[in-house]
Amino acid sequence: MLSFKCKCPHCHNEANHNITAIAYYKKIDDKTDSVYTLIKCCKCNEPFIAIFNLPTKERVEAQKNVETREYRRIFTREYITYPEPKQPPTHESYPDKINSLIKEIEKVGEPFAKISFIRSALEFALIDIGIKSDKDSLFDAIQKAYEKRLITAQLADWAHIVRKFGNKAIHEIEATESEAQEAYDFLKLFLKLIYEIPAVIRKYSNPASSGNKEE
């Protein structure tokens, strides 16, 4: 089966994904053709379409024999995917370093590498909001965040689960896809709670914007 190296717009995994169907369409421009390929991600199994534009002459030549190198050249052309890749969940209220880490998390495929970046983002956020000092372990910092009512007991429990995934990933270079997904879901929720929500509250609790007296 033909495969094509590209980034899956669903899970962002860059790999050789399987081309499951190919269709040829002539564009309005009489010198250029589009080749539409239906691709199935080798990681998340979701389908997407990659569209290649190439000169009609080249397409006709390539299509004469699908076993040739000329044919495979179609897939070295510039392409767009449908759907377009999702935007990484960065946010203007997050520190730049967190946003950079999120972009890295989106890029890496290996679950242990993903979890290592997630752990770094979590640690950085805890330091940034003044919860974690140099002598605090991540365990201490999570407890402090709970004691200061920044997170609920439930979220603290979840944080400890994710912390253990992080330890395993860093020390044993071992992690599963579902651990990486869970850790990432936790991080996204955590960042919303400590950066995004306070930013919204600050916006509306600005004295200039609220004229109501306490009743």
Quote the CA–CA distance of 25 and 162 in Å, as a whole number. 48
Which one of 6, 8, 151, 187 is in contact with Zn ion (CB under 5 A)? 8
Residues 85-144 close enough to bind Zn ion by CB under 5 A: none
Structure tokens at 77: 């052309």
Which is nearer to Zn ion, 18 or 56 (by Cβ)? 18
Which one of 7, 10, 77, 192 is in contact with Zn ion (CB under 5 A)? 10
- Supply the minimum distance, in Å, between the C-beta of residue 40 and Zn ion: 9
- Supply the minimum distance, in Å, between the C-beta of residue 83 and Zn ion: 11
- Supply the minimum distance, in Å, between the C-beta of residue 44 and Zn ion: 3
Give the number of other CB atoms < 10 A from CB of residue 186. Answer: 19
Taking the CA atoms of the chain, what radius of gyration do you get in angstroms? 24
Which is nearer to Zn ion, 43 or 168 (by Cβ)? 43
- Supply the minimum distance, in Å, between the C-beta of residue 81 and Zn ion: 11
Which is nearer to Zn ion, 44 or 80 (by Cβ)? 44
Query: How far is the CA of 153 from the CAs of 44, 132, 150, 158, in angstroms?
Result: 33, 18, 10, 9
Residues 31-90 close enough to bind Zn ion by CB under 5 A: 41, 43-44
Provide the angle, in degrees to the nearest 10, between the axes of the packed helices 96-107 and 111-128: 170
Q: Which residue has the tokens 């960042």?
A: 191
Asked if residues 188 and 89 have their Cβ atoms less than 8 Å apart, the reply is yes
- Supply the minimum distance, in Å, between the C-beta of residue 43 and Zn ion: 5
Which is nearer to Zn ion, 43 or 192 (by Cβ)? 43
Give the number of other CB atoms < 10 A from CB of residue 187. Answer: 24
- Contact positions vs Zn ion (CB under 5 A): 8, 10-11, 41, 43-44
